[in-house]
């Protein structure tokens, strides 16, 4: 494994039992990974990631109607000068219990780390602490299981190109007993059975070809095993089958050091689907420089996040505030209509109680409400109505690529004046959206639609397949895929 990869760094920090915060930048997104004595315990994303409610709907633990009820209740509370958390309201309305909310919060942290591992061209800096995690919220996570989860969701083409670089004739042995590896990676029963077949007598090529005969996701599992250094490759057959080897040693920095990686060069234009990683790993920095170990006390503070490129369609804070205030004014006018959708027990509030300047939390909540209404109109074929709601959501949260992508898609369906320009903008946005959130099923759906418009059915089929894999509820992608498979 290349020493500049994120996975290698996390393995190193765990091996040394380090505590602190690993700040990761990739594809314009900053994530903060909290470690306590080497173990990942929490994660935060600076960008607008998948919310708790959205994740629960995706996992089918909440219905779309229940999700909207919670959002409406939270929005109504804003007019009573209350700030409610999603989990609290879901429990209050009887949709979840406290244990289910706690489990969902742990899942949310897990997926933040998984998304970070899925991204490419990482830069990272580790800031040591004095033996305590810099957060009171802790959800202990097992790194190997996160690596496997990330490998399951990257596009098949990316895994294939990664594995194609491995010498296919070399024999594969496990670094530990199969049951121990199965436990660390949280494998499925089918994957556990496959691990038991890796006894040192089978070549890498043989293992890959056996993917056709088993139900396990063999490419994802092998990619994860390589990334986490859980297998060894040899040009010769072992004298006897391995019996629980000790894990390979990991060269690690000394305790009083800071880990820094040189920033990657300026990004180059990429194809619509994410580009493949190097052949020796899944997640690596854009440059092959080794880790540079600098004494922590002497290390300079990390540079501030670079300004967004013009192509990401960001706007200034002044313009964002103006748009948000304008959108909020429009929301005030429709407040009474929105409140009718909430339970009758909620007391009505005077319009003069509404704050003139919404907070960040209020903007997010109001934007999500508009977004969900826009999606409902979109699903019903009311494209013009959807466009208005989605544009208001984007005005409230102009940094949300997801809101912008939905608004542009609604505009495209409503009949743009320049269809070619609209398609070009949608292609640009899907590329940005996939980098920001590799698990965005909707972005892959739009990518498939753009491929169909260009009569590229092979790419459309791949994009729709990946969208359905990411989100079985993506019905539009399912319909498109069925039509393509019939041909």
Domain 310-486 has CATH 1.25.40.10: yes
Q: Give whichever of 121-125, 219-223, 287-291 has the largest mean pLDDT.
A: 219-223
Instruction: Please identify which residue in the block is written with the tokens 């309201």.
Output: 89
Residues in the chain: 487
231 strand-pairing partners: 174
Distance between start and end Cα atoms, the chain? 42
* SS3 at position 293: strand
Is residue 482 packed enough to be buried (19+ CB in 10 Å), middle (13-18) or exposed (0-12)? exposed
Mean pLDDT of the chain: 78
- 156-201 tens-digit pLDDT: 888 888 788 787 889 999 999 999 999 999 999 999 999 999 999 9
Rounded to the nearest 10 degrees, the angle between the axes of helix 98-118 and helix 6-16 is 120
Segment 97-118 shows an average pLDDT of: 92
Residues of the chain above pLDDT 90, percent: 52
Per-residue confidence at 362, pLDDT binned at 50, 70, 90? Answer: confident
Q: Tell me, what's the pLDDT at 18?
A: 93
Where does residue 317 fall: left (phi above 0), alpha (psi -120 to 50 degrees), or beta otherwise? alpha
> Measured between alpha carbons, how far is 466 from 472 in angstroms, rounded to an integer?
10
**8 A C-beta contact, residue 174 and residue 195:** yes
For residue 148, report the phi and psi dihedrals to the nearest 5 degrees: -65, -40
Q: Tell me, what's the pLDDT at 442?
A: 96
| Token representation of residue 334 | 């429709």
**8 A C-beta contact, residue 264 and residue 205:** no
| Token representation of residue 440 | 């965005």
Which of 16-30, 99-113, 250-264 shows the lowest mean pLDDT across its residues?
A: 250-264
> Measured between alpha carbons, how far is 11 from 26 in angstroms, rounded to an integer?
19
Q: Tell me, what's the pLDDT at 264?
A: 37
**8 A C-beta contact, residue 124 and residue 261:** yes
Is pLDDT at 347 greater than 70 in this prediction? no
pTM score above 0.85: no
Q: Tell me, what's the pLDDT at 235?
A: 82
Is pLDDT at 415 greater than 70 in this prediction? yes
Per-residue confidence at 154, pLDDT binned at 50, 70, 90? Answer: confident
For residue 217, report the phi and psi dihedrals to the nearest 5 degrees: -80, 80
Segment 412-436 shows an average pLDDT of: 92
Per-residue confidence at 127, pLDDT binned at 50, 70, 90? Answer: very high
* SS3 at position 138: coil
Q: Delimit the domains of the chain by residue range.
A: 6-144+252-295, 149-234, 310-486
């Amino acid at each position: 494994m290349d020493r500049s990869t994120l996975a290698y760094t996390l393995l190193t920090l765990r091996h040394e039992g380090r505590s602190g915060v690993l700040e990761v930048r990739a594809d314009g997104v900053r994530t903060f990974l909290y470690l306590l004595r080497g173990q990942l315990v929490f994660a935060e994303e600076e960008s607008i990631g998948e919310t708790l409610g959205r994740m629960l709907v995706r996992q089918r633990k909440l219905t779309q109607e229940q999700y909207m009820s919670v959002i409406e209740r939270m929005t109504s509370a804003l007019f009573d000068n209350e700030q409610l958390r999603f989990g609290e309201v879901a429990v209050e309305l009887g949709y979840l219990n406290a244990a289910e909310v706690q489990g969902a919060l742990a899942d949310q942290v897990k997926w933040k780390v998984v998304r970070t591992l899925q991204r490419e061209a990482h830069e990272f800096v580790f800031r040591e602490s004095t033996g305590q995690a810099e957060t009171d919220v802790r959800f202990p996570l097992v790194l190997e299981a996160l690596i496997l989860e990330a490998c399951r969701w990257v596009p098949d083409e990316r895994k294939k190109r990664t594995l194609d670089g491995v010498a296919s004739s070399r024999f594969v042995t496990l670094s530990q007993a199969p049951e121990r590896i199965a436990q660390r990676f949280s494998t499925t029963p089918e994957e556990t059975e496959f691990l038991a077949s890796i006894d040192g007598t089978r070549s890498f090529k043989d293992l890959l070809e056996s993917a056709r005969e088993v139900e396990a996701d063999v490419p994802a599992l092998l990619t994860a095993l390589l990334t986490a250094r859980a297998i060894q490759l040899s040009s010769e057959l072992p004298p006897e089958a391995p019996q629980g080897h000790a894990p390979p040693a990991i060269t690690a920095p000394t305790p009083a050091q800071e880990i820094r990686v040189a920033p990657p060069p300026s990004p180059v234009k990429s194809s619509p689907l994410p580009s493949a990683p190097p052949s020796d790993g899944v997640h690596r920095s854009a440059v092959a420089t080794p880790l540079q170990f600098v004494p922590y006390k002497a290390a300079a503070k990390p540079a501030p996040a670079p300004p967004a490129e013009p192509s990401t369609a960001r706007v200034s804070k002044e313009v964002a505030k103006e748009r948000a205030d304008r959108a909020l004014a429009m929301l005030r006018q429709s407040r009474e209509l929105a409140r009718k959708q909430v339970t009758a027990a909620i007391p009505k509030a005077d319009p003069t109680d509404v704050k003139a300047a919404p907070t960040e939390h209020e903007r997010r909540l109001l934007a999500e409400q508009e977004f969900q209404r826009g999606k409902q109109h979109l699903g019903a074929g009311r494209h013009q109505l959807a466009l208005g709601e989605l544009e208001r959501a984007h005005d409230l949260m102009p940094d949300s690529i997801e809101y912008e992508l939905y608004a542009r898609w609604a505009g495209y369906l409503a009949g743009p004046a320049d269809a070619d320009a609209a398609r070009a903008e949608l292609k640009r946005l899907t590329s940005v959206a996939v980098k920001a959130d590799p698990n965005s099923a909707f972005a892959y759906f739009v990518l498939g639609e753009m491929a169909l418009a260009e009569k590229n059915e092979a790419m459309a089929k791949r994009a729709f397949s990946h969208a359905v894999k990411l989100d079985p509820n993506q019905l539009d992608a399912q319909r498109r895929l069925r039509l393509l498979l019939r041909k």
